[in-house]
Amino acid sequence: MKKTYFASDFHLGVAAKLSSKERELQIVRWLTSIQEDAEAIYLVGDVFDFWFEYKTVVPKGFVRLLGKLAELRDAGIPIYFFTGNHDMWMFRYFEDEFGIPIYREPIIRTIGGKTFFIGHGDGLGPDDYKYKLLKKVFSNRLCQFLFAQVHPNIGIGLASFLSVKNRELEPVEETFLGEDNEWLLQYANRKVERLDQHIDYFLFGHRHLPIDFLLKNQKSRYINIGEWLHGCSYGVFDGEEMRIEFFENEKGKVFP
């Protein structure tokens, strides 16, 4: 039986439980393990802790992951890439080199007769106006052009340093905050009321916590597929049921 896989928040380029290189090798092992039964793979944002494509330069490293993605695409497996808040400066490299489409906003897609609302999750919830303003600045073409004029050694080095420093100031939340405080869950509940079509699964990354929660309509589910800095969790849809699983992590837990 063919399956659809979802993963996000690899944050390659920064060390966590494993070094970035060790985590990259782990991700390649996971991709190899699902290769035979994968109907499609969705990479739902923050695959890289920082990414900026210059006209003729991309960030150094990640060759094992890129090579594996090329192998999967050459084998005819569709791969879909969503930008996150850490790799929003992904332009056409993946599309041109691998034939992997890039999505910058959430999409609605029917898979196996079920309807999925898929996005990274950044900037969707209430409040967080500071980040939403920054996202507008970072997505502005003039700002992107100006940054591209900075030499890669300086631009990528500075951005990577700031990314790591921000992560040090924001420890991973390990507790489900409840229906009234999980902002992506709130967003999904509001969407259920406003959309004119039924959504079976609201699927996000970004939160860094594997969550599977039945929404207020008692039909739709909010799924957060977690992260790979520590938990190594991912989503899998077998054509009938959506669930969260863990790779090389026997202690993985789905919340609440």
Sheet holding 3-7, edge to edge: 102-103, 79-82, 38-43, 3-7, 233-237, 242-246
Give the model confidence (pLDDT) of 120-165 as tens digits.
999 886 666 555 556 665 666 766 666 666 766 666 666 666 555 4
For residue 140, tell me if it sits in a domain: yes
- Domain of 139, CATH number, reads 3.60.21.10
Q: Give the residues of the chain that fall short of pLDDT 70.
A: 125-140, 142-149, 151-173
Question: Residue 28: which domain range?
Answer: 3-246
Residue whose C-alpha is closest to residue 155's, from 255, 251, 70, 58: 58
Residue whose C-alpha is closest to residue 236's, from 228, 227, 246: 246
DSSP 38-101: EEEEEE-S-SBSS-B--SS---S--HHHHHHHHHHHHTT--EEEE--SSSTB--SHHHHHH---
Q: Give the pLDDT score at 155.
A: 61
Instruction: List, in order, residues 6 or more apart from 69 with CB less than 8 Å away.
Output: 31, 79, 98, 100
Burial 52-78 (b: 16+ CB within 10 A, else e): bbbeeebbeebeebbebbeebbeeebe
Give the model confidence (pLDDT) of 205-220 as tens digits.
999 999 999 999 999 9
For residue 8, tell me if it sits in a domain: yes
For residue 252, tell me if it sits in a domain: no
Total count of domains within the chain? 1
- Give the pair of three-digit tokens for residue 70: 């090329």
For residue 255, tell me if it sits in a domain: no
For residue 122, tell me if it sits in a domain: yes
For residue 254, tell me if it sits in a domain: no
What pTM was estimated for this model as a whole? 0.89
For residue 253, tell me if it sits in a domain: no
**What is the rounded distance in angstroms from the CA atom of residue 82 to the CA atom of residue 100?**
10
**What is the rounded distance in angstroms from the CA atom of residue 206 to the CA atom of residue 183?**
11
For residue 115, tell me if it sits in a domain: yes
Q: Give the pLDDT score at 153.
A: 62
